[in-house]
Amino acid sequence: MLKLLRNNGINKLKSNLIRNYSTKQSIFQALDTFPKRHIGPNENEINEMLKSINTSKLSKKNPNSLEQLIEYTIPKDIRLNRELNIEENKVIGENQLLKDLKKIAEKNKVYRSFIGMGYYGTITPHVIQRNILENPGWYTPYTPYQAEISQGRLESLLNFQTMVSEFTGLPMSNASLLDEATAAAEAMQMCVNISKSKGPFAFLVDKYCHPQTIDTIKTRAEPKGIRIEVVDSKDFKFTEDVVGCIVQYPSSNGVITDYKEMADRAHQANALVVAATDLLSLALLKPPGEWGADIALGNSQRFGVPLGFGGPHAAFFSTKDKYARLLPGRIIGVSKDKQGNSAFRMALQTREQHIRREKATSNICTSQALLANMSAMYAVYHGQQGIKDIANAVHRKAIILAEGIKRLGYTVLDRPFFDTVLIITGDKTDMMIKELESRQINVRQYCSKSISISLDETVTSADISALLNGFSAHASKPLGLSSPEQLEKETSTISVISEEFARQTPFLTHPIFNRYHSEHELLRYIHKLQKKDLGLTTAMIPLGSCTMKLNATTEMYPVSWPEFNSIHPFVPANQSLGYKEMFESISNMLCEVTGFDGCSLQPNAGSQGEYAGLMVIRSYLTSIGQSQRNVCLIPVSAHGTNPASAAMVGMKVVVVDCDTNGNIDVADLKAKAEKHKDTLAALMITYPSTHGVFEEGANDICDIIHANGGQVYMDGANMNAQVGLCRPGDIGADVCHLNLHKTFCIPHGGGGPGMGPICVKSHLAPFLPGHSVVKGVGGERAMSAVSAGPWGSSSILPITYVYLKLMGGQGLKKATQVAILNANYMASRLKDHYKILYTGSHGLVAHEFIIDLRMFKESAGIEAEDVAKRLQDMNFHGPTMSWPVPNTLMIEPTESESKYELDRLCDALILIREEIREIETGKADRKNNVLVNSPHTEKVIVADNWNYPYSRSKAAFPTPATVASKFWPTVGRIDNVHGDKNLVCSCPPLSDYQ
């Protein structure tokens, strides 16, 4: 009987298993689906958190469910009542998606490209590719605002600045900009700022600059009323209104020109000189700072960063010491910590847009840190002699090519050159372009009568032979038996760089560039720096308004595929069909997510998205005869880039008040919109608000603006709370930028790269930005370019593509729901210990929330900075400090963090509240306590002397997690004032590193 019962039980269990499995899915359905990997909490944890929040007290409908949470978080009149139509919600596995994407990638043709124009083939050392580009320890950290846990990449970025300063001969460099073209536009504006003139302004542009640079300069100049004159530099006329000029060195056609006389004339007229230059060429050429340039800039891409169809790459920018406070972008400097040790930090932050707003020198709030670190490591690895050897090899190959082409009967421009040979091809130009393309070779058609060929370090003897064979097909003379090796011998005494152009000064002289030339040494140096930085590999990074979510390995994997990273941005369209297909798919998905009709992928940062969106609005208003509309309404709580961007496009900023609940004061908005109804251009609004709340009446706010003739720009910084639940276009916005490095999983890279595409309504779509080199980009009435690359930082767009495809409509919606759940769960746990500053009408927050610390300054002498630094002792990066409200912390957990990690941060903050209480009750000293002395380094903890009124274990091991695994800040709290008063922005003596 027992045996019979047992058999029946087993059979029943088998039957249930088979029935349950068959009702759920086919055995052929993918098991490696992505949403369950991307979303941190599992279903049991989600239910636990929902019960903790207890939304059932608000309604018995769908008690304690994600649907009910959203019902009481997002206003009903803006909620999306259908699923997003992405991939028709098909379930696809990670492995299959990569196979599908590989097929798309293979539609790109990876030919040999010698087009130049600021983009070159390069050899990325494998030790750098594997250990920086493909290493989450380097690509997942945030911008180094918390310097004590960012010393590794701060040191590397300081190496980058030192490298740039020594190559260019100008002592003050920043930590990179977005691309060469936008750097040139920033230089123009810097010239205006330095002039201190009230205008009018003019800026001279050498016609031999790269065309994409000229185009971007024109874009930036037009709304500011800066007159641009594009002429040959020898014809520059420095009239009274000219504030500066820019030249390309070497020029876009490869010619090396002596600009000293021109620079002298400029300075006599109180105008500044900008040199757009090439780092590798400066290993052989006289640095711009030595012949009179005041500013030097360019693209560091050929220092080990793949072509990537245009980006991302790190632009460099250097100038004289006296202009340091007007330098755009981030600057890394040297200061000291609490114990007097040398420490790195971001310097001169008071000049940035989050403080100066519309008076900022620039709207750029990011850089290209990951790519700058790659280029810096390239210089560290090769050193001065290695870089010289590469530059000499490139130059010699160009001489060999020029000689071979001359022997074929072609005329080569007889001017000094570095790596670019200009060939007069006359009526054979089109024929030669087609001939070379048939041989899988791309060159530049410089004009209707000439071709230019730019060589790089990847060029082989076979490449030279292929080029010569291509030209010989239509040559007037035979090449004979001259091989590249024979030509090398015959041209060994030829030099086209005369002494007047030759570099005499050394570079990369600091020991940091001379001790890591073996792979073992560089590998250890990279990992030594990595261990100093806290990234998502260590802990959650709960920065409000930053969306530090998972950067999945599957998403990152295609970035290294040659079909994506080895293509020049200006190849013929038939060689980039895979990119075209992917761009169209991403654009369509982003339009579906946002409720818009058109999309531009060109802006390569959120700040550039803001700028592009406002420029599109401006173009549209001009087209309908409303060019007088120049007023931009901006809430007082807006991110500093908003007013800075508005000022850049020539708009007048009018600030709108917020009410006591942190929402836009609708009455004040309406009054100001009506007051400026004849000149109102736009409202810039962030939704949910920067206070972490879904404001009621967002669509009414949009109606007010439209009724008074304006357009609505929505800042996409908080899009992670909207995806799949509501859409900016449905709410009433006309344009929105999206931070792909936030909501759509491109990693922050320790301070860049980013992407800021814009989506627009149909009436704005014709004005989406175009490109001067690549036709067919942008709308029918496209404004000029806002970035160097036609599609911005193209090679990181596969990250967003993979994320959207793998999540599908349902997965994206679930991710947003859980992002909101995680924030509300944390707020519910912390509300009895800290005041939650703003909530919605039902007491709930959106995807982030603010805890108020202002009362602790009086009660305990504790400020937000103390709490953030104490969190470093507990293996955490602090939340966003003192923004948008001073002396508060804004926390955004994202959907990717598990309940365990959320609880760990909550427990840490609750413990800190008890430590504050110890000060309030007199148990701990007000001026010598564990908070004001944080963070505590390992060096301090193990020192023989311990002069603190608390134990070492309390300082360094306050939580069970820190006992199990400890992340050590490598420096104590940094003295920011000392760093700004004693500005040092290049590598300090080697003893400071030891």
Of 179-193, 468-482, 525-539, 815-829, the range with the lowest mean pLDDT is: 468-482
Pick the CATH number of 600-794 from 3.40.50.300, 3.40.50.720, 3.40.50.150, 3.40.640.10: 3.40.640.10
Q: Helix, strand, or coil here: 150?
A: strand
- Within 13 Å, how many C-alpha atoms sit on residue 751's CB side? 30
Q: What is the CA 877 to chain-centroid distance, rounded?
A: 20
Q: Helix, strand, or coil here: 630?
A: coil
**927: buried, middle or exposed (CB in 10 Å: 19+, 13-18, 0-12)?**
exposed
Is the pLDDT reported for residue 11 higher than 70? no
Percent of the chain with pLDDT over 70: 95
What pLDDT, on the 0 to 100 scale, is given for residue 89?
57
What pLDDT, on the 0 to 100 scale, is given for residue 57?
73
Neighbouring residues of 624: CB distance < 8 A, sequence distance ≥ 6: none
Whether 759 contacts 599, CB under 8 Å? yes
What pLDDT, on the 0 to 100 scale, is given for residue 199?
87
Nearest to 867 by CA among 845, 897, 887, 838: 887
Whether 300 contacts 372, CB under 8 Å? yes
What pLDDT, on the 0 to 100 scale, is given for residue 14?
46
Please state, in angstroms and as integers, the Cα–Cα distance from residue 163 to each residue in 73, 121, 156, 515, 851, following that order: 50, 20, 10, 15, 42
CA gap 439, 754 in Å, rounded: 36
What pLDDT, on the 0 to 100 scale, is given for residue 123?
98
CA gap 155, 138 in Å, rounded: 13
CA gap 533, 137 in Å, rounded: 8
What pLDDT, on the 0 to 100 scale, is given for residue 580?
98
Please report the beta strands in 826-960, taking only residues with DSSP state E, as ranges in sequence order.
835-836, 849-852, 880-881, 888-891
- Give me the chain's average pLDDT, please: 94
More confident site: 491 or 41: 41
Nearest to 420 by CA among 571, 281, 310, 259: 281
Q: What backbone phi and psi angles, to 5 degrees, belong to 372?
A: -65, -40
Nearest to 363 by CA among 691, 45, 649: 649
Please report the beta strands in 406-535, taking only residues with DSSP state E, as ranges in sequence order.
411-412, 420-424, 441-447, 450-454
Q: pLDDT tens-digit profile of 161-177?
A: 999 999 999 999 999 99
Q: Tokens for 302?
A: 């050929």
CA gap 896, 847 in Å, rounded: 12
What pLDDT, on the 0 to 100 scale, is given for residue 15?
46
What pLDDT, on the 0 to 100 scale, is given for residue 994?
53
CA gap 81, 83 in Å, rounded: 7
Q: Tokens for 60?
A: 């018995």
CA gap 963, 334 in Å, rounded: 32
Whether 148 contacts 970, CB under 8 Å? yes
Of 20-34, 568-582, 836-850, the range with the lowest mean pLDDT is: 20-34
What pLDDT, on the 0 to 100 scale, is given for residue 669?
97
Nearest to 872 by CA among 936, 953, 963, 951: 936
**554: buried, middle or exposed (CB in 10 Å: 19+, 13-18, 0-12)?**
buried
Domain locations along the chain: 143-381, 600-794
Q: Tokens for 566?
A: 């080895």
Question: Helix 797-830 and helix 94-105: axis angle, to 10°?
Answer: 150
Q: Which amino acid is at 797?
A: L
Count of C-beta atoms within a 10 Å radius of residue 506: 8
What pLDDT, on the 0 to 100 scale, is given for residue 993?
52
Cα end-to-end span (Å), the chain: 79
Q: How confident is the model at residue 358 (pLDDT cuts 50, 70, 90)?
A: low
Q: Tokens for 349?
A: 């932050």
CA gap 924, 661 in Å, rounded: 35
Q: What is the CA 568 to chain-centroid distance, rounded?
A: 20
Q: What backbone phi and psi angles, to 5 degrees, belong to 160?
A: -60, -45
Is the pLDDT reported for residue 356 higher than 80? no
Please state, in angstroms and as integers, the Cα–Cα distance from residue 844 to each residue in 53, 541, 825, 836, 862, following that order: 9, 22, 10, 10, 27
Count of C-beta atoms within a 10 Å radius of residue 26: 7
Nearest to 189 by CA among 329, 299, 293: 329
Q: pLDDT tens-digit profile of 359-408?
A: 655 677 678 999 999 999 999 999 999 999 999 999 999 999 999 999 99
CA gap 726, 134 in Å, rounded: 34
Q: pLDDT tens-digit profile of 761-800?
A: 999 999 999 999 999 999 999 999 999 999 999 999 999 9
Count of C-beta atoms within a 10 Å radius of residue 251: 21
Q: Residue 183 gets which letter from DSSP?
A: H
Neighbouring residues of 350: CB distance < 8 A, sequence distance ≥ 6: 356, 980
Listing DSSP states for 229-287 in one string gives EEE-GGG----TTEEEEEEEES-TTSB----HHHHHHHHHTT-EEEEEE-TTGGGTBPP
What pLDDT, on the 0 to 100 scale, is given for residue 1?
41
Q: What is the CA 29 to chain-centroid distance, rounded?
A: 37
Q: Which amino acid is at 615?
A: M
CA gap 772, 275 in Å, rounded: 21
Sign of CA dihedral 170, 173, 176, 181: negative
Q: What is the largest CA-CA distance in the chain?
A: 110
Q: Where do the H-state alpha helices sit in 274-368? A: 288-291, 353-356
Please state, in angstroms and as integers, the Cα–Cα distance from residue 859 to each residue in 145, 552, 878, 926, 972, following that order: 27, 44, 22, 9, 25
What pLDDT, on the 0 to 100 scale, is given for residue 128?
98
Is the pLDDT reported for residue 19 higher than 50? no
- Mean pLDDT in residue range 102-116: 98
Question: Helix 577-594 and helix 797-830: axis angle, to 10°?
Answer: 30
- Alpha-carbon dihedral 7, 10, 15, 21, rounded to 10 degrees: -170
What pLDDT, on the 0 to 100 scale, is given for residue 24?
59
Please state, in angstroms and as integers, the Cα–Cα distance from residue 397 to each residue in 235, 455, 472, following that order: 33, 7, 18
What pLDDT, on the 0 to 100 scale, is given for residue 922?
97
What CATH fold (topology level) applies to the domain 143-381? Aspartate Aminotransferase; domain 2 (3.40.640)
Q: pLDDT tens-digit profile of 836-884?
A: 999 998 999 999 999 999 999 999 999 999 999 999 999 999 999 999 9
Whether 689 contacts 664, CB under 8 Å? yes
Is the pLDDT reported for residue 907 higher than 50? yes
Q: What backbone phi and psi angles, to 5 degrees, belong to 768?
A: -60, 145
More confident site: 475 or 320: 320
Is the pLDDT reported for residue 979 higher than 90? no
CA gap 421, 406 in Å, rounded: 11
**535: buried, middle or exposed (CB in 10 Å: 19+, 13-18, 0-12)?**
buried
Q: Which amino acid is at 258?
A: D
Element (H, E) at 393: helix 369-407
**340: buried, middle or exposed (CB in 10 Å: 19+, 13-18, 0-12)?**
exposed
Q: Tokens for 916?
A: 């504050």
Count of C-beta atoms within a 10 Å radius of residue 559: 21
Whether 940 contacts 972, CB under 8 Å? yes
Q: pLDDT tens-digit profile of 649-698?
A: 999 999 999 998 889 999 999 999 999 999 999 999 999 999 999 999 99
Is the pLDDT reported for residue 9 higher than 50? no
User: Phi/psi zone of residue 89: left (φ > 0), alpha (ψ -120 to 50 degrees), beta?
Assistant: left
Neighbouring residues of 340: CB distance < 8 A, sequence distance ≥ 6: none
The strand order across the sheet containing 315-319 reads 172-173, 315-319, 295-299, 272-277, 242-249, 201-206, 226-231
Nearest to 117 by CA among 9, 10, 210: 210
Whether 73 contacts 820, CB under 8 Å? yes
Is the pLDDT reported for residue 20 higher than 60? no
Q: pLDDT tens-digit profile of 473-487?
A: 999 888 776 789 999
